[in-house]
Copies of this chain bind each other. A is one copy, B any other.
């Protein structure tokens, strides 16, 4: 076996300060979770990863299983002037959202969730083969899994999906909303897990970030403030706790 296939290739996230925490970036061909509550910044984080990838020449794909991608585009343009409409027109970004017939299916309460997730897996596979992105974002996987009550079934379906993503050799970010519980089941099978928080410290709500795990990479032990500015998120050198 060649040396190169034994180690991981690094994919810089492009998020200022983040790559230092994980020894250079995410690993190519891996599945990486970004977990946090509403307002912690996980959608911005993951969108910035896609945006910076495009700037670095890597095609992006964003899959939104339960919302229209128009909301994401508008949010990113309004906040940071990232023009996802333009990038889509230029063929640098592919969007897959709830307007796709497969994803629209989920809207029907009568659909069996397991069937739906099997269809979703096929959809992801097909879209990735058609569009050939190098970076992919699924936002939000957890919301999508609400209908599944068995941890066993949830883990099996996640294992399946993560396996497909790895075999397609994309670098995938998956946001996981804490609103729906069982985040640990999802994180268990991922190659890396990043935790975002927005919590009360004194009289302020402070955003922070730490790396829970990254397979095959030394990770920083520090918890850092996550700053937000007109240019997006940046990992500060400051610590959140007094």
Contact = CB atoms under 8 A, between A and B. Distances in A.
Nearest to A202: B241
Contacts of A185: 146, 179-180
Contacts of A241: 202-203
A184 B181 CA distance: 10
A119 interface: no
A209 B150 CA distance: 32
A20 interface: no
B177 A205 contact: no
Interface string A82-118: 0101000000000000000000000101000110000
A195 to B, nearest CB: 9
Copies of this chain per assembly: 6
A78 B6 contact: yes
Contacts of A215: 71, 74-75, 78
Nearest to A200: B223
Nearest to A187: B38
Interface size class of A (residues with CB under 8 A): 35 or more
Given A78-B8, A107-B156, A184-B179, A205 B189 contact: no
B114 A109 contact: yes
A153 interface: yes
Given A107-B159, A151-B180, A204-B222, A7 B213 contact: no
What are the nearest 5 A-B pairs in CB distance? A39-B213, A203-B239, A78-B216, A179-B184, A147-B152
Interface of A: 1, 6-8, 27, 37-39, 66-67, 71, 73-79, 83, 85, 107, 109, 113-114, 143, 146-147, 150-153, 155-156, 159-160, 177-180, 184-185, 187-189, 191, 193, 198, 200, 202-207, 210-213, 215-218, 221-223, 228, 239-241
17 contacts: A6-B78, A7-B77, A38-B193, A38-B212, A39-B193, A39-B213, A67-B189, A71-B215, A76-B216, A78-B215, A79-B217, A109-B152, A109-B156, A113-B152, A146-B185, A179-B188, A203-B222
